[in-house]
Structure 1
Amino acid sequence: MKFSNNDKLNDIEKQLENLEDVALQINSNIAEPNSSKVKQRSKVSLTEPKPGIGNTTNYKSVGPKKCIGCGKQLQMDDKRLPGFSLDIAKQDLCLRCFKIKYYNKLVEQEINDEDFIAIIDEINQTKNKIRYYYVVDMFDLPGSRLTWLEKLISKKEVVILVNKIDLFPKSVKKLKILNYVKKYFEDSAIAGSKIIFTSSLKVDYISPLVSELKSIDYDQYIIGISNAGKSSLINACLKFNHQIPSIVTSKYVNTTLDKIKINFTENNYVYDTPGLVKHNHIAIATAPNYWDFFFFQKEIKQVTYQLNAGQSIFYGGLAWFSFVEGQAVNEKNNKPIKTNFHFYVNKQMPLHRTKKVNAQHYFKKNRYSLSPRLLSSDSDFEVHTFLYNDDKKIDLHISGLGWISFRSYKGMKLEITVPKTEYGIRVSELDALI
């Protein structure tokens, strides 16, 4: 940001900026001759109009300098570890956050889940009054919950932030969603907590959240699983509050790596915290260039298929749903009746119908041309089977892909086939929402 209208000073600033680019590039090439050439300019800095508000990560800090994008301590020793910077004195972002922010490029680094758990445990040890904002993703409600974390935070004040509410069709009443979420958390250690609907894209949802945050005069912490939208929410709140949205956000997991202190006023603040890895999410089985299919910002769509027993629906080249057996029959004429299955998915997600007996062959034949597709071309699969003996409305959730809504009946058998991963892809059965 320029602080003077003097043309001579502006020219000098531009020359210094160009020299800085050259120096950083030389330094980068010396450290790694064969690396791609990426500049790291000091474009993001704490330039709030009033000191002590906004991202105050390094404000009046007597300790080591931290990245204002992810919160990690800056270091120049090991590029594989979080916080690596080409020049700590001149940079406010680590190289990883810089590349994510300006190049949408992920820098692979060693990230330890235990570090995240230790941060949450440390916060929870305080005897002072604090408030947790537990962020869950409405599109992936089962996949964004951590029951052990809910038990850990239940001893403190908790507010459940139901994020990405704008992804739902406008026809779905908010009161219905609210009652659904309340019922969903009935067996949780944080049952009865205040629930707030949020979205980082809609001012109508940001305004009440900012008012809520600014009404609290004790420590507040935003927590939740990675990519639930914590950092995006804080940036949206900063922007609404006429401050700089400086926290780095992306479709990649674990963008935030340590606590980041955000002041909305001089005496009112909230901490953004790292997200715990979505081990049970379908994105784990794909390459990062496909993650736009799972972490998106547009309203979901409903696609209805009328299926006979023995038919399958593919989600690109990732997984498939099968109506195995239990064909409904018209009692009057004894003819088979097709069953309606409603798929709630990202609008970009391609769906394809085929016969169940051909499913494995279809996948093997088209696995290199389908999109999105799995990271490994020879992935093993596991099958989740569901048998029904009664009549009720059901939602089957696949973490990252959305859900399938239908009415069950006696003798119905369904299968969901997903790739095998280290922790398994979460497939959940819930009462129907829509």
Structure 2
Amino acid sequence: MKFSNNDKIDEIEKQLEELEDKALKINAQSEEVIKVKQKSKVTLTEARPGIGNTTNFNSSGPKKCIGCGKELQTEDDKLPGFSLNIEKQDLCLRCFKIKYYNKLVEQEINDQDFIKIIDDINKTDEKIRYYYVVDIFDLPGSRLTWLEQLISKKEVVILVNKIDLFPKAVKKTKIFNYVKKFFEDSPINGSKIILTSSIKQDYVFALVNELKSVQYDQYIVGISNAGKSSLINACLKANQQIPSIVTSKYVNTTLDKIKINFTEKNFVYDTPGLVKHNHIAIATAPSYWDFFFFQKEIKQVTYQLNQGQSIFYGGLAWFTFENGQAFNEKNGKETKTNFHFYINKQLPLHRTKAINAQRYFKKNRHNLSPRLLDKDCEFETLVFNYTNERKVDIHISGLGWINFKSYPDMKLSITVPKTEYGIKVTELDALI
């Protein structure tokens, strides 16, 4: 029998989780799901005018692409917004290729262009709300502190996306409290937090009702591939409208603001996603990006390691248990240490001796998948030393995280490719 307050805390968390699930189900049952299909590949016609993607509805200005938000033009096929026929088409050629052929057409929006968009929005004296979308799978990598500073001038709601990727055993209240603590040092600390997903209908309906409850302008912001456009498309579909915004595994699919109406008086804007400069995908070819941006539940792989062993992430990076062999005081023998890798199910892991790591990579780098774009890429190693016992997560942006229990004299390292901005590797308290 336990005599601890932890039992009461667990019981309260369980009750809160049951209430949250009940609320989500009520939201899901509030409206019947109706499948809505876009009849034409190049044009969009909603059943009710003024509802849905209203980028060009009652607009006196130039026509814009409903997929990326750029102004349509027929003069230069190398510039954003190029269209073969502006009058008959609602998608620019780039969005058409991405949506229907999964073909990458590189066109980027830089940070300064985005800052101008936010500055223009912030100039208004009217009340507005930002939805700041972060990726629960890459929480440290999907944060932008300078963006948080900009949007803190207005009302902010933090949308923790892709919650469906987490193992079902992890309590929602634990994730909520973890995210709340994660943003303690941020200027948007104290903002409302919503756990969401574009896949699970209960979460989608809850988000739709939240968006429809606000009668002033709302803006969806965040880093590229955090799932902003996918969330809006899921909400459009749940609201019996056409999911018209172009989404893909590529960065910068959305290039300008896209206006969405869930009701006649309700305005929501999708905004461009910012490039993840510190993400591992930057060092690979776009053909491998399915390994980093995905829609399946996280896989846990556990290795029991001795010091001097390494784990490779395909042909991209590797983790090394440098030294600090654990010791079993009961039998007086050395023991292996458990390391739990939370990764994309498609990503292959391989164990080798640390002394052979460099040789293994050089020998197999052309055969490993996924692999780096630059065959002569240089690497940098980040070292982590521990002096006490605690549960730790080490996040590698794009590759997931490693969970373990540290102890005195443990030494670990992460080796990643050198890039212009560096691959983000972050140490946090353990979530799971």
1: CA distance between counterparts of 2:111 and 2:75? 22
Q: Which residue in 1 is equivalent to 2:90?
A: 92
Query: Could you give the per-residue CA deviations for residues 82-102 of structure 1, whole angstroms, max 9, x where no partner exists?
Result: 112222222211111000000
Give TM-score, length-normalised by structure 1. Answer: 0.89
Residues 1:74 and 2:72 are matched in the alignment: yes
Query: Could you give the per-residue CA deviations for residues 20-40 of structure 1, whole angstroms, max 9, x where no partner exists?
Result: xxxxxxxxxxxxxxxxxxxxx
Q: Which residue in 1 is equivalent to 2:127?
A: 129
**Letter of the 2:431 counterpart:** L
Q: Which residue in 1 is equivalent to 2:232?
A: 234
Q: Which residue in 2 is equivalent to 1:380?
A: 378
**Letter of the 1:356 counterpart:** A
Change (3 A) 1:135 1:173: same
Q: For 2:265, which of 264, 267, 288 is the aligned residue?
A: 267
Q: For 2:60, which of 59, 62, 68 is the aligned residue?
A: 62
Offset of 1:42 from its aligned partner?
6.3
2: CA distance between counterparts of 1:42 and 1:380? 48
Q: For 2:393, which of 387, 392, 395 is the aligned residue?
A: 395
1: CA distance between counterparts of 2:283 and 2:84? 32
Q: Is the 8 A contact 2:43 2:88 kept in 1?
A: no
Q: Is the 8 A contact 2:69 2:256 kept in 1?
A: yes
Query: Could you give the per-residue CA deviations for residues 399-419 of structure 1, whole angstroms, max 9, x where no partner exists?
Result: 000000001111111000000
Q: Is the 8 A contact 1:226 1:278 kept in 2?
A: yes
SS in 1 for 2:263: coil
SS in 1 for 2:264: coil
Residues 1:430 and 2:400 are matched in the alignment: no
2: CA distance between counterparts of 1:122 and 1:386? 43
1: CA distance between counterparts of 2:111 and 2:92? 20
Q: Which residue in 2 is equivalent to 1:37?
A: none
Q: Is the 8 A contact 2:42 2:96 kept in 1?
A: no
Offset of 1:376 from its aligned partner?
1.1
Unaligned runs of 5+ in 2: 1-38
Q: Which residue in 2 is equivalent to 1:420?
A: 418
2: CA distance between counterparts of 1:86 and 1:125? 36
Q: Which residue in 2 is equivalent to 1:322?
A: 320
Q: Is the 8 A contact 1:42 1:90 kept in 2?
A: no
Offset of 1:266 from its aligned partner?
1.1
Offset of 1:139 from its aligned partner?
0.2
Of structures 1 and 2, the larger Rg is shown by 1
SS in 2 for 1:48: coil
The 5-angstrom pairing of residues 33-432 of structure 1 reads 43-432=41-430
Offset of 1:277 from its aligned partner?
0.7
1: CA distance between counterparts of 2:51 and 2:62? 20
**Letter of the 2:77 counterpart:** K
**Letter of the 1:73 counterpart:** E
Q: Is the 8 A contact 2:327 2:335 kept in 1?
A: yes
**Letter of the 2:79 counterpart:** L
Offset of 1:80 from its aligned partner?
2.2
Q: Is the 8 A contact 1:80 1:108 kept in 2?
A: no
Change (3 A) 1:42 1:64: farther
2: CA distance between counterparts of 1:78 and 1:364? 44
Considering only aligned residues, what root-mean-square deviation do their CA atoms show, in Å? 1.2
Offset of 1:110 from its aligned partner?
4.9
Change (3 A) 1:77 1:103: same
Deviates more, 1:339-348 or 1:84-93: 84-93
Q: Which residue in 2 is equivalent to 1:17?
A: none
Q: Is the 8 A contact 1:387 1:413 kept in 2?
A: yes
SS in 2 for 1:144: coil
1: CA distance between counterparts of 2:74 and 2:40? 16
Offset of 1:349 from its aligned partner?
0.6
**Letter of the 2:199 counterpart:** L
2: CA distance between counterparts of 1:170 and 1:128? 41
Query: Could you give the per-residue CA deviations for residues 43-84 of structure 1, whole angstroms, max 9, x where no partner exists?
Result: 232311111110011111111111000001112222222112
Q: Is the 8 A contact 1:82 1:110 kept in 2?
A: no
Offset of 1:350 from its aligned partner?
0.4
Deviates more, 1:386-395 or 1:77-86: 77-86
SS in 1 for 2:65: coil
Offset of 1:129 from its aligned partner?
0.2
2: CA distance between counterparts of 1:79 and 1:327? 60
2: CA distance between counterparts of 1:137 and 1:390? 30
Give TM-score, length-normalised by structure 2. Answer: 0.90
1: CA distance between counterparts of 2:187 and 2:206? 26
The percentage of aligned residue pairs carrying the same residue is 80
Q: Which residue in 2 is equivalent to 1:30?
A: none
SS in 1 for 2:141: helix
Change (3 A) 1:82 1:112: farther
Offset of 1:127 from its aligned partner?
1.1
Give the aligned length: 394
Q: Displaced runs of 4+ in structure 1, greater than 4 A?
A: none
Offset of 1:336 from its aligned partner?
1.4
**Letter of the 2:310 counterpart:** S
Q: Which residue in 1 is equivalent to 2:21?
A: none
Q: Is the 8 A contact 1:302 1:344 kept in 2?
A: yes
Unaligned runs of 5+ in 1: 1-40
Query: Could you give the per-residue CA deviations for residues 360-391 of structure 1, whole angstroms, max 9, x where no partner exists?
Result: 11111111111111111111111111000011
Q: Which residue in 2 is equivalent to 1:18?
A: none
Q: Which residue in 2 is equivalent to 1:32?
A: none
2: CA distance between counterparts of 1:112 and 1:140? 21
SS in 2 for 1:383: strand
Offset of 1:258 from its aligned partner?
0.2
Q: Is the 8 A contact 1:44 1:246 kept in 2?
A: no
